[in-house]
Amino acid sequence: MPFGLTNAPSTFQATMNEMLRSFLQKIVLVFLDDILIYINDWQDHLQHVKQVLQTLRENGFVAKRSKYTFGQEAVEYLRHVVSRDGLAVGPTKVFAIRAWLIPTNVRGVRGFLGLAGYYRKFIRSFTTIAAPLSDLLRQWEKFTWTAEMRRAFEELEECLCTTPVLSLPDFSKEFIVETDASSVGIEAVLHQGRHLIAFYS
- Domain 8-71 adopts which CATH fold? Alpha-Beta Plaits (3.30.70)
Which pLDDT belongs to residue 5? 58
Which pLDDT belongs to residue 130? 94
Which pLDDT belongs to residue 154? 95
| Contact by Cβ (8 Å): 197, 186 | no
Same fold for the pair 8-71 and 89-161: yes
Which pLDDT belongs to residue 17? 86
pLDDT tens by residue, 32-77: 888 888 877 778 888 888 898 899 889 988 877 887 787 788 888 8
Which pLDDT belongs to residue 165? 92
Q: Enumerate residue ranges in the chain where pLDDT < 50.
A: none
Which pLDDT belongs to residue 164? 92
Q: pTM to 2 decimals?
A: 0.76
3-state secondary structure the chain: CCCCCCCHHHHHHHHHHHHCCCCECCCEEEECCEEEECCCCHHHHHHHHHHHHHHHHHCCCCCCHHHCCCCCCEEEECCEEEECCEEEECHHHHHHHHHCCCCCCHHHHHHHHHHHHHCHHHCCCHHHHHHHHHHHCCCCCCCCCCHHHHHHHHHHHHHHHCCCCECCCCCCCCCEEEEEECCCCEEEEEEECCEEEEEEC
- Terminal CA-CA length for the chain: 37
Domain definitions of the chain by residue range: 8-71, 89-161
Q: Annotate 39-62 with b (16+ C-beta within 10 A) or e (fewer).
A: eeeeeebeebbebbbeebeeeeee
Which pLDDT belongs to residue 40? 74
89-161 is a CATH 1.10.3720.10 domain:
no
Which pLDDT belongs to residue 18? 86
